[in-house]
Structure 1
Amino acid sequence: MNRLRASTSWLAVMAGLAVVVGSATSPVAAQAGPTVVDPDLGVRTVISGLVTPSTMAFLGPNDFLVLEKNTGNVKRVVGGAVQGVVLDLAVNSASERGLLGIALHPDFPQDPGVYLYWSCLAPPPDTSNPFFPTQPRCTEIPELGADSADILAVPLLGNRVDRFEWTGSALVFDHNLLMLRSFQHDGAPEPAGQNDAAQPARGNHDGGSIAFGADGKLYVPVGDLGRRSQMQNLPLGPTPPTADDQFGGPAPDNAHLSGVILRVNDDGSTPSDNPFFGVGAQIGGEAGANIQRVFAYGLRNTFGIAVDPVSGSLWDQQNADDAFDELNRVERGMNGGWIQTMGPASRIAQFKEIELTLPPSGGLAGAQLQQIRWPATNIADSPEQALSRLFVLPGSRYSDPEFSWKFAVPPAAIGFLSSRALGPQYANDLFVGAATPLTVGGHLFRFNLTGNRRMIAVDDRRLEDRVADNNAKHDITESESLLFGSGFGVSTDIETGPNGNLFVVSLSTGTIYEIFRK
């Protein structure tokens, strides 16, 4: 069964959903049910009334754990009913933070390890100096209980990955694997002259969708957190010679390790066969140790990763701001190109045009790419120029996405159907959910892969270039042949269940749906 993990509350960056992902503390009201295109398939509700559910993991048939982003609760659901709360973490749920991802150890239940990606709490800073957090990192032992939606109530390293152990009735903390950057307040007066004083505090682009690969290693995507450092293809940072922010940079020390997919052992140690292990050893120090953990970099933010059950390859989706959402087969050492490019490098002119002309998400003038200090006017004017600007680690490789949308759709959870339960025509296909509410469509796309499992297979001649040339944000023109279903709302996880059916977690409706063959 594919243990893909989708990040959760991405829609704080989208108009109209900040309440859903940032401050909802009660169950989201049920809405009209979703539908699928194939008349031989049906959709039923497994459970509803959940509070911003993010991800799930099956313990057995009709038995699973589900995470709630905003409450920090891990609930056990048996036979379609909540049996109880097996863990209640004290989370910061502001914006895209919260309880985001879960992965079971590959040898579960023989190895009882359950891994969680989540955002911890800290007291908010004094209003006289809101630009520095009150704690450098989370407490080693997780805090339980009351949550917060205060955007500043996090330590500097406020995102974490922990191993818990399943006792059969509860999750018990074992040890911490990673502590990652969380605090974002780029309006600080330092570094001087960085031109970002109008930037508000944020809590987005945390990543959080974790998964064990076919190799038994844990893959941990971390969003760019609005950083503009070496891992975002700015070798000297956004405004050299000044630092990336008030905490330093641009080298990927603990405060600036972002926009990456990390690959670690099940105990959190670094595998010696990682693509940049030797490079990091030569660099040394905190930045070198972090580079050793990196599997891929140059990424903006992902809300879903998945492991191909046939080839074992890792896939992810990347969310743009306005232009060129992506699906990628993530090869070891991949440089995704962000911030120098998004989508195929050959489309750099369109990328620049769209990011310059569409109103920025959140309405902050000049912040189409989030940090005012590196505006869209800096985007290159040719593919060659863009690629020449990449931060090149020895052994890295840029690759165009396997599929992209010209305007942001945007996608969210992704997952492979690792069974034939819905019919042989769907076996091992890739399904992609939406980071859009029901009012926009809440679509579910289906992708076939080529025989060698390296590319997206297409039947629509308009998609032969593997780009859907839609007409505006949220428009699905040229994706009609990919449409599998609609009305799912914000899909934050897609799983193959023990019965072989496809399960979809909807954050915006508080529901888990099951797609089955009639």
Structure 2
Amino acid sequence: MVFTDKIMHERKVLTFCTFMLIIFSSTFSSYIQFSYGAYAKAPLSPYGPTVNDDNLTVEKVTEGLDFPTSMSFLGNNDILVTEKETGIVKRVLNGQIQDTPALDVSVANSIERGLLGIAVSKQPDGKTYVFLSYTESGDDADGSDVEDNVDPSGNKLYRYDYVDGKLINPVLLFDLTAIPENERGEHNGGKIRIGPDNNVYFIVGEVGGHRTQAQNIADGPAPNGLGGVLRISQDGGIVDPDNPIFGEGLPLNVYYAMGIRNSFGFDFDPLTGNLWDTENGPTVADEINLILPGFNGGWSQVQGYFDQDLLGRGITSVDELVTFGNSKYTDPKFVWVTTIGATALKFLNSEKLGKEYANDMFTGDINNGLLYRFTLNEARDNILINDTSLGNVNLLADNQVDETTENRPLIFGQGFGGITDLQVGPDGYLYVLSYTGALYRIVPLSESNTPKNQPALAAQNETQSANSIPVVIVGLKGDQSYSPNPINIEAGQTITWYNGDSISHTVTSGQDNDGDEGAEFDSNAIIPNQQYSLTFDRSGEYPYYCIYHPTMVGEVIVE
């Protein structure tokens, strides 16, 4: 592997070249089965998004964006939004999407590739810097990695000047490989934050199965800049070169954290300056982490709490993990054993929604369209689920969701569609970006012209035709997940599946890994408290399952 350290206009550009991963033992080459359910996204609620506070309401700021991924504020009611598939940075001014984009770049966009992250930084001299991360196309055409199998050029981090509604003068700061080892365009991360120290923090995943020492493979290749949080100055320089956290030389001296599989959200606590992130597990253990300098999250040997060994690696001591410099393994602060597709994370550094919410942590997910609220302990170094949450908080005393229904006290809002970003505007309100193309903000009902949304709370009780047979989705219970199961009907009858769980599920024909799964029918994500109906006109036996959770199986028998 070769690293280059070039000077461009007196700014250091860090380039990590593509390499061929060495062949590991079968233990590591078959490390985990990938979960394709993670790429199914929650739709908007037909009733619109809501929050669980009678004093708050949800306003729609705008809609019509194309798979937006991140946003950053230029000023009050002035927002830059990135679009994953198109590579376009759009400006939303006073709720209106401007006709002329701020920038259009060529992106590879398979699975999790694309235009991914943005951060705005106002300078003392009046300049405005905008930092963008994206998977750069290999031939200047959007989606050529999908259409023509063209390898992407790389996962790039650029700095631009914002002038008169345009992003100009690009300066390349990071050039990381975007070539996966598992032939899937996933785990590119891409979120950007400007830290309290005014430096640039960039979180990147392990990009399709790279296995280096940064992923805790002791005899693997040297770190290549992937699988961690990277930190540089706004001019692209090394932060504190005399005291690097992980070690001397590139890329060690730009790592702030390692051992991270994939993240779609991180933010700094406004009271302590500490960094927190969400991290996606493979088939188990989505996490929330407190990332102090030198953090090692344990991937690819540990996901979830160390002593539970949810990956089945048999690791018995943290000494078996890779150590660089002052690095140290740290357990997550919260774990969902069943993955939810955790995404954005934001601290509400405002009292505009009420003093009870000030400086609380909010996170979103892609699978369920849920918005979660977390409170921290007095020292603000751990999550503390207390009586400010609604429901049975005792089950969350271990800071772990073991059964999906334990999720309920954490839910602050629902129905947003898959959430891709959360930000606090200059107005102090919480903004929620949905992959469906809509942007919302949560505001006090007393300050809004939008009436409080009152969705149907029991959709299973809605009037159904006399010919409709109800089935309740009760959760992860194997062949008892859909109740009743099996279900016998006559040709021409309709079945209505109601999701009574607190996370999304699907009703998808076939079984996991069938070549024709979903060919007969596929509900897509059925979010909590919503339903899906289907009429069966032909006799036969129809096995089905949940694409998120393949152990959930059912069968329809049509006479």
Local SS of the residue matching 1:268: coil
Q: 1:38 to 1:261 in 2, by over 3 A?
A: same
Q: What's 1:517 paired with?
A: 444
Local SS of the residue matching 2:356: helix
Distance 1:41 1:311 in 2: 28
Local SS of the residue matching 1:338: coil
Q: What's 1:301 paired with?
A: 262
Q: What's 2:37 paired with?
A: 15
CA deviation profile, 1:163-186 (whole Å, cap 9, x unmatched): 1111022110331101011012x4
Contact 2:38 2:341 in 1 (8 A): no
Kindly report which structure 2 residues correspond to 1:457-468, keeping only aligned pairs within 5 A, or say none.
457-459=384-386, 460-468=393-401
Tell me, yes or no, if structure 1 residue 493 matches structure 2 residue 490: no
Local SS of the residue matching 2:250: helix
Q: What's 1:134 paired with?
A: none
Tell me, yes or no, if structure 1 residue 480 matches structure 2 residue 480: no
Contact 1:214 1:312 in 2 (8 A): yes
Distance 1:228 1:274 in 2: 28
Q: What's 1:361 paired with?
A: none
Q: What's 1:357 paired with?
A: none
Q: What's 1:262 paired with?
A: 230
Distance 2:185 2:373 in 1: 31
Distance 1:13 1:165 in 2: 39
Q: 1:30 to 1:69 in 2, by over 3 A?
A: farther
Contact 1:220 1:262 in 2 (8 A): yes
- The CA RMSD over aligned residues, in Å, is 2.2
Contact 2:230 2:254 in 1 (8 A): yes
CA deviation profile, 1:295-343 (whole Å, cap 9, x unmatched): 0001100010111111111110110011111101100001111111111
CA deviation profile, 1:253-294 (whole Å, cap 9, x unmatched): xxx3211110101011111268645x632xxxxxx3100100
Tell me, yes or no, if structure 1 residue 43 matches structure 2 residue 58: yes
Contact 1:326 1:401 in 2 (8 A): yes
Shift of 1:448: 0.6
Q: What's 1:394 paired with?
A: 325
Q: What's 1:368 paired with?
A: none
CA deviation profile, 1:73-108 (whole Å, cap 9, x unmatched): 111111111123111111111110110000112537
Q: What's 1:335 paired with?
A: 296
Tell me, yes or no, if structure 1 residue 230 matches structure 2 residue 204: no
- Letter aligned with residue 432 of structure 2: V
- Letter aligned with residue 247 of structure 2: G
Q: What residue ranges of structure 1 are gaps of 5+ in the alignment?
A: 1-11, 22-27, 124-142, 187-198, 238-249, 282-287, 353-378
Tell me, yes or no, if structure 1 residue 120 matches structure 2 residue 117: no
1:443 is matched with which residue: 348, 355, 370? 370
Contact 2:137 2:145 in 1 (8 A): no
CA deviation profile, 1:464-510 (whole Å, cap 9, x unmatched): 2211212xxxx3x2221111011112111100011111000001x21
Calculate the TM-score normalised by the size of structure 1: 0.74
The percentage of aligned residue pairs carrying the same residue is 37
Distance 1:220 1:16 in 2: 23
Q: 1:442 to 1:118 in 2, by over 3 A?
A: same
Distance 1:326 1:296 in 2: 15
Distance 1:224 1:149 in 2: 19
Q: 1:229 to 1:17 in 2, by over 3 A?
A: closer
Q: 1:480 to 1:70 in 2, by over 3 A?
A: same
Q: What's 1:172 paired with?
A: 168
- Letter aligned with residue 511 of structure 1: A
Q: What's 1:280 paired with?
A: 247
Q: What's 1:220 paired with?
A: 202
Q: 1:49 to 1:149 in 2, by over 3 A?
A: farther
Distance 2:361 2:162 in 1: 30
Kindly report which structure 2 residues correspond to 1:199-210, keeping only aligned pairs within 5 A, or say none.
201-210=183-192
Local SS of the residue matching 2:325: coil
Q: Tell me which protein shows more strand as a share of its residues.
A: 2
- Choose between structure 1 and 2 for higher RCO, CA contacts under 8 A separated by at least 6 residues: 1
- Letter aligned with residue 76 of structure 2: P
Kindly report which structure 2 residues correspond to 1:342-421, keeping only aligned pairs within 5 A, or say none.
342-348=303-309, 350-352=310-312, 379-380=313-314, 382-384=315-317, 387-421=318-352
Q: What residue ranges of structure 2 are gaps of 5+ in the alignment?
A: 1-33, 387-392, 446-559
Shift of 1:31: 5.2
Calculate the TM-score normalised by the size of structure 2: 0.69
Contact 1:30 1:510 in 2 (8 A): no
Q: 1:58 to 1:274 in 2, by over 3 A?
A: farther
Q: What's 2:126 paired with?
A: 110
Q: 1:108 to 1:60 in 2, by over 3 A?
A: farther
Shift of 1:109: 8.2
Shift of 1:146: 4.7
Q: What's 1:503 paired with?
A: 431
Kindly report which structure 2 residues correspond to 1:27-66, keeping only aligned pairs within 5 A, or say none.
32-66=47-81
Q: What's 1:366 paired with?
A: none
Q: What's 1:373 paired with?
A: none
Q: What's 1:432 paired with?
A: 363
Q: 1:66 to 1:428 in 2, by over 3 A?
A: same
Q: 1:411 to 1:109 in 2, by over 3 A?
A: farther
Local SS of the residue matching 1:211: strand
Distance 2:73 2:282 in 1: 33
CA deviation profile, 1:390-412 (whole Å, cap 9, x unmatched): 01112111111111111212311
Distance 1:511 1:390 in 2: 42
Contact 2:364 2:420 in 1 (8 A): yes
Q: What's 2:383 paired with?
A: 456
Q: What's 2:453 paired with?
A: none
1:86 is matched with which residue: 96, 102, 105? 102
Local SS of the residue matching 1:414: strand
CA deviation profile, 1:368-405 (whole Å, cap 9, x unmatched): xxxxxxxxxxx11x532xx2320111211111111111
Distance 1:409 1:464 in 2: 19
Q: How many residues align?
A: 403
Distance 1:301 1:150 in 2: 21
Contact 1:120 1:154 in 2 (8 A): no
